[in-house]
Chains A and B, each alone.
Chain A
Amino acid sequence: MKLLVCVKQIPDPDAPVHVNAHGTWVDVDGSTFVMNRFDGFALEEALRIREEIPDTRIDVVSVGPERVEAVLRRSLGMGADHGIHILTGSDGYLSSFASATWIAAHARACNYDLILTGVMSGDDMNGQVGPLVAEMLHLPCATSVIFRRMMPESGRIFVEREMEGGLRDALEIRLPALLTLQSGINQPRYPSLSKMLRANRHPLDIILSDSLESPTIHLSVMQTSLPQKIRAGLILEGTPGEKARQLLDILQNRLMPA
């Protein structure tokens, strides 16, 4: 089988974020970057499929500026076979539609049996790239997959999609197909040192986004802002002991038995 995993590099979700000078997107200057957590589940699932089905090859693709190379190296360190970097010129906001257009342009020529990606990215939180790539390639698509079982004899895959309230939507999909994976489907492995060393020497395919069709973008971010306070957000001051006493006073007044 031939698998493609789409991974995104995002600003570290644990680090503080700032609005850029124009007030139109997040300022990423000086940020540290990590692999989108949900894409880690997608890559892990691909590695497990390769363990189940011999002669499986895993390509990993990422769209972005030069720094994005790091997530491709990390993917190779986790065990992916080959990395493809769709290199964009700028470090600004990258719309889901643009990323999807370029990933689809790459995938169209490669006849992948299965394309996997995370259910959404931790920064833009759209959940659009996966379903858009599927639609652009006329592939069936299932999002928020929490369980899957390959059915190689029938060329299908059984999946369970996570719904609200503890329900799951079960379906069988004909390959080739695209899945977006929900967190919790597996525990992604760490890159191994020996694989990382090899990964650093492994050549990546670099495709300039300018050489691909340029998508028409209908969306623009007019303004970004900090979320409004919807409650008092009283920050207690003092030593930890003083804060503990203040908090207990407040709670005692509200509901704790004396």
Chain B
Amino acid sequence: MRVSSQSIVVIAEHVEGQVRSITYELAAFARILQKEMPSSDIKIVVIGDAIDKMAQIMARNTGMSVFAIHVPGLAGYNAEVYKNVLADVLTDWRPSHVCAAHSSQGMDFVPGLSFRLGAACITGVEAIVKHDEIICFRRAVCGGKIMADVHADSPMILLSVLPGSFAPDPKDASAPGSVQQRTMESAPKQSVSLGIIRKNMDASAVTEADVIVAAGRGIGDKDHLGLIYRLAALFPKSAVGGSRIVCDSGWMDYSQQIGVTGCTVAPSLYIACGISGAIQHVSGMRGSGFIVAINTDPKAAIINMSDVCIVEDLASFIPILIETHEKRYAEDTSQ
């Protein structure tokens, strides 16, 4: 089977037998891209040993055709096998665009695969934009302070799409897409996958909180953490979270980490203290109801995604905020 040159291939992502939601975001992304290339078609590729059921589910949910590559013995993700199998089929198909997730899997195999295919590679894509009728892919650089619109001059482009950037389309009510199958033998020679390790982390404190006060590298000093906890204590059903760098420093437990590699949260109120707003953090909290940023840098990326911003040093401002609240509370109760 050959795919026309103007065609889009979506690489499905799955973990432990479950299709990850990013796959549907990739399908939505592919549809938007398809509108720019009228005669193109879209195909979803899924790779693994037990993939029949996942292939059926994706064909039903998206209405797109699914190509299921059955690799005997491949329990989960393996970089070597993914690159070998995909290099084979994509060399044959020559699609114009290949979309994968900008996730721990996608980031692992996409750049190497692009080199093998002689294709261009754009990672962390958040939007499709056009300049003078030329399609560009928008990605964040410099911790999200700047967006770069990148154009690829190449017959084949591999894209990794940032999770949370494209909402999945509603379930396709029309007929399910076709499912085609092929078996390809491919065993890794340089690596052995040993399975998934589950780190027992109880992140329920932050994922179930109504209010989250979160600290980033801007807190500067570990001693200021006490202020973050005192601020959180003003609110019922609250919790304290942190960006990755705070957890890496050992100042907070990884169960409190919010962002791409931590928890995704959506509390009613999110107070970001000393958080720059790097996309890795923001994608874990942008669904919050109301976002307040306390930051010394008025140009920090977090300002663009906050409802209210206070440009102050948190070490001096939070005590004033707590004191002001306590005074009010005392006045209220004395009346």
Q: Which residues of A contact B (CB under 8 A)?
A: 11, 13, 16-17, 19, 25-26, 96-97, 119, 122-128, 131-132, 134-136, 139-144, 158, 160-164, 166-174, 177, 182-184, 187, 218-236, 240-241, 243-245, 247-248, 250-251, 254-258
Interface of B is mostly: mixed
CA distance A256 to B78 in the complex (A): 49
Contact across chains for A244 and B196 when beta carbons are under 8 A apart: no
Tell me which residues across on chain B come within 8 A of A135, comparing CB atoms.
Answer: 83, 111-112, 115-116
Q: Which of B172-229 contact A (CB under 8 A)?
A: 190-199, 201, 203, 210-211
- Contact between chains at B136 and A222 (CB < 8 Å): yes
14 A-B contacts, Cβ less than 8 Å apart? Answer: A127-B107, A141-B79, A144-B104, A166-B254, A169-B196, A170-B193, A187-B250, A222-B151, A224-B141, A233-B305, A235-B298, A240-B316, A251-B269, A255-B235
Residue pair B142, A11 in contact (C-beta under 8 Å) = yes
CA A228 – CA B127 in complex, angstroms?
12
Tell me whether B124 and A126 are in contact (CB under 8 A). Answer: yes
Q: Is the interface of A mostly helix, strand, loop or mixed?
A: mixed
| A-chain residues with CB within 8 Å of residue B328 when the two chains form the complex | 248
Q: Across the A-B interface, give the 4 residue pairs with the lowest CB-CB distance, nearest first.
A: A218-B120, A140-B190, A135-B112, A131-B111
For B41, list chain A residues within 8 Å (CB).
none
Contact present for B308 and A247 (CB under 8 Å): yes
For B201, list chain A residues within 8 Å (CB). Answer: 166
Give chain B residues whose Cβ lies under 8 Å from the Cβ of A124: 141
The interface residues of chain B lying within 8 Å CB-to-CB of A119 are 107
Q: Please, how many angstroms separate the alpha-carbon atoms of A26 and B140 in the complex?
A: 12
Contact check: which of A25, A167, A173, A230 meets B199 at CB < 8 Å?
A: A167
In the complex, A132→B114 CA distance in Å?
A: 9
Residues of B within 8 A of A125 (CB): 123-124, 139-143, 279
Chain B residues with Cβ below 8 Å from A142 are: 79, 108, 191
Indicate if B248 sits at the interface (CB-CB under 8 A).
yes
- The CA-CA distance from A110 to B19 in the complex, in Å, is 42
Q: Is the CB of A222 within 8 A of B140?
A: no
What's the least CB distance linking A4 to chain B, in Å? Answer: 18
Q: Known: A167-B15, A184-B248, A243-B317. Is A143-B108 also a contact (CB below 8 A)?
A: yes
Partner pick for B324 among A97, A177, A183, A241, CB 8 A cutoff: A241
Contact of B248 with A183 in the complex, beta carbons under 8 Å: yes
Known: A183-B245, A230-B305. A245 touches B324 (CB 8 A): yes
Indicate whether A218 sits within 8 Å of B153 (C-beta atoms), given known contacts A235-B309, A251-B269, A254-B269.
yes
Q: State in angstroms the CA–CA spacing of A76 and B316 once bound together.
A: 39
Are B196 and A168 interface neighbours, CB within 8 A?
yes
Quick check: A123 and B236 within 8 Å, CB to CB?
no
Interface centre among A11, A139, A184, A228 (most CB of B within 10 A): A184
Report yes or no: B269 in contact with A136, Cβ–Cβ below 8 A: no
CB distance A13 to B143 under 8 Å?
yes
CA A169 to CA B309, docked complex, whole Å: 39
Residues of chain A within 8 A (CB-CB) of B291 are 231
**Is B123 within 8 A of A127, CB to CB?**
yes
Q: With A and B bound together, what is the CA distance between A158 and B197 in angstroms?
A: 13
Shortest Cβ distance from B211 into A: residue: A255
- Complex Cα spacing A128 to B195, Å: 25
State whether A166 and B199 are in contact (beta carbons under 8 Å apart), knowing that A26-B142, A135-B112 are contacts in the complex.
yes
Inter-subunit contact A247/B310 (CB<8 Å): yes
Q: Is the CB of A219 within 8 A of B150?
A: yes
CA distance A228 to B324 in the complex (A): 33
Task: A243 to B294: give the CA distance in the assembly, Å.
Answer: 11
How far is A29 from B241 in the complex, measured between Cα atoms in Å?
A: 36
Check B297 for interface membership: any CB of A closer than 8 A: yes
How many Å from the CB of B219 to the closest CB on chain A? Answer: 13
- Is B49 part of the binding interface, using a Cβ–Cβ cutoff of 8 Å? no
Q: From residue B277, how far is it (CB to closest CB) to chain A in Å?
A: 9
Whole-angstrom distance between the Cβ of A217 and the nearest chain B Cβ: 9
- A121 and B113 alpha carbons, distance in the complex (Å): 20
> By the criterion CB–CB under 8 Å, are A236 and B310 in contact?
yes
| B150 & A221 in contact (Cβ 8 Å cutoff) | yes
Closest chain A residue to B138, Cβ basis: A225
Contacts of B146 in A (CB 8 A): 17, 19, 26, 224-227
CA distance A257 to B105 in the complex (A): 44
Interface string of B300-335 (1 = CB under 8 A from A): 010111111111100011001101110010001000
